[in-house]
Amino acid sequence: DSGVTQTPKHLITATGQRVTLRCSPRSGDLSVYWYQQSLDQGLQFLIQYYNGEERAKGNILERFSAQQFPDLHSELNLSSLELGDSALYFCASSVERVVTTDTQYFGPGTRLTVL
């Protein structure tokens, strides 16, 4: 158990809908990273938050957004869902904001299925 929690574990929804994925980082970690894992693209970095502020963006679609709250938990919002958004979504956390300084620990993921 990495100490990172994610809810829900599974999510099934329809095209055009909006969903929210939640992540609680390890105690003491200030950075939260979101990744998407699909069969053909592997693990792709989406976005990073550090202590409530957005720090870096990767291959995140405009339909997707995220935020980190004062208690450091984070939410990833996916809207206008398409079939191609079906994937595993992972959250990772670390103490520092610099990716080469500190290890990222991953949560168990949320499996999103868009029908």
Partner 1 sequence: GESVGLHLPTLSVQEGDNSIINCAYSNSASDYFIWYKQESGKGPQFIIDIRSNMDKRQGQRVTVLLNKTVKHLSLQIAATQPGDSAVYFCAEASNSGYALNFGKGTSLLVTP
Binding site for partner 1 (CB under 8 A): 2, 4, 33, 42-45, 48, 55-56, 58, 90, 92, 98-100, 103-109
Alpha-helical segments (H) within the chain? none
CB of 68 to partner 1, least distance (A): 15
Identity of the residue, 58 or 84, whose beta carbon is nearer to partner 1 in the bound complex: 58
State the nearest-atom distance from the C-beta of 31 to partner 1, in Å: 10
Instruction: Quote the strand ranges of 4-80, DSSP E.
Output: 5-7, 10-13, 19-24, 31-38, 42-50, 53-57, 64-68, 74-78
Task: Report, in Å, the least distance between residue 84 CB and partner 1.
Answer: 18
Residues listed for the chain: 115
